[in-house]
Amino acid sequence: MQAPHEIRRNRYVRLRKVHRCTIEIFRPGRTEIKLAEEDGWIHGKHSRADYSGSLIEVETVSLKREALKYVKNPLKIIPRLEAKITEPFNRVLALAWVRLNGVERLCAGRRIFLFGAFGGRRYGDNSVALFEHMVEHHPEVDSYWVMRKDVYKEHLRFGRLPFPDKVVFKGSFRANILALIAQVHVYSHGHYDVTDYSRDILAKTCLVLLGHGVTALKKKTFKSRASDHEIAGMAATADFVIAGSEQEVRIKNEEWHIPIEKIILTGLPRYDRLLRLSREQKSSGEGRILYMPTWRDWNSRRLLLKGSEFFSQIRDFLVTSGLDGYLHAKGVRLDLYIHMWMREFFDDFKKEFDLQSVNLLPQIIDIQKIIVDSSLLITDYSSVCWDFLLLDKPVLFYQPDLDEYEEKRGAYIDLKKDLFGPVAYNGPAAADLVRQFVENRFNPEQFKDQMERMKKWAFTYTDDRNCERVAGYLV
Give the pLDDT band (50/70/90) at residue 235.
confident
- The residue that leads in pLDDT, 199 or 39, is 199
Answer for the pair 171, 196: CB distance below 8 angstroms, yes or no: yes
Report d(CA 29, CA 50) in Å as an integer: 10
Q: Is residue 150 pLDDT above 90, yes or no?
A: no
Report d(CA 419, CA 407) in Å as an integer: 18
> Per-residue pLDDT tens for 4-16?
333 233 333 333 3
CA 405 to chain CA centroid, Å, is 18
> Per-residue pLDDT tens for 356-381?
898 889 888 899 999 999 999 999 99
Strands 395-398 and 423-424: parallel
Least confident span in 55-64, 292-301, 385-394: 55-64
Least confident span in 89-93, 96-100, 299-303: 299-303
- The residue that leads in pLDDT, 201 or 40, is 201
DSSP E strand stretches across 189-348: 206-209, 222-224, 230-232, 240-243, 263-265, 288-292, 333-336
Averaged pLDDT, 157-173: 95
Averaged pLDDT, 179-207: 95
- Write down the mean pLDDT value for the chain: 82
Q: Name the maximum alpha-carbon separation found in the chain.
A: 69
Averaged pLDDT, 168-177: 96
Supply the pLDDT for residue 367: 93
Report d(CA 398, CA 396) in Å as an integer: 6
Averaged pLDDT, 206-210: 97
Q: Is residue 184 pLDDT above 90, yes or no?
A: yes
- The residue that leads in pLDDT, 128 or 81, is 128
- 82 CB contacts (<8 Å, ≥6 apart)? none
Report d(CA 10, CA 422) in Å as an integer: 43
Q: Is residue 193 pLDDT above 60, yes or no?
A: yes
Supply the pLDDT for residue 61: 43
Q: Is residue 79 pLDDT above 80, yes or no?
A: no
Averaged pLDDT, 405-409: 90
Supply the pLDDT for residue 21: 32
> Per-residue pLDDT tens for 243-299?
999 999 999 999 998 999 999 999 999 999 999 999 998 776 678 999 999 887 776
| All domains of the chain in start order, with CATH | 11-65 (no CATH), 73-267+466-474 (3.40.50), 281-458 (3.40.50.12580)
Answer for the pair 182, 112: CB distance below 8 angstroms, yes or no: yes
Report d(CA 229, CA 214) in Å as an integer: 25
Supply the pLDDT for residue 197: 95
Supply the pLDDT for residue 12: 33
Averaged pLDDT, 153-175: 94
Supply the pLDDT for residue 295: 80
Q: What are phi and psi of 106, to 5 degrees?
A: -75, -30
Averaged pLDDT, 438-444: 95
Q: Is residue 433 pLDDT above 60, yes or no?
A: yes
Task: Give me the helix-helix angle, 125-137 and 270-280, nearest 10°.
Answer: 80
Supply the pLDDT for residue 63: 52
Supply the pLDDT for residue 59: 39
Nearest to 256 by CA among 270, 274, 238, 275: 238
CA 252 to chain CA centroid, Å, is 17
Supply the pLDDT for residue 220: 75
Supply the pLDDT for residue 438: 96
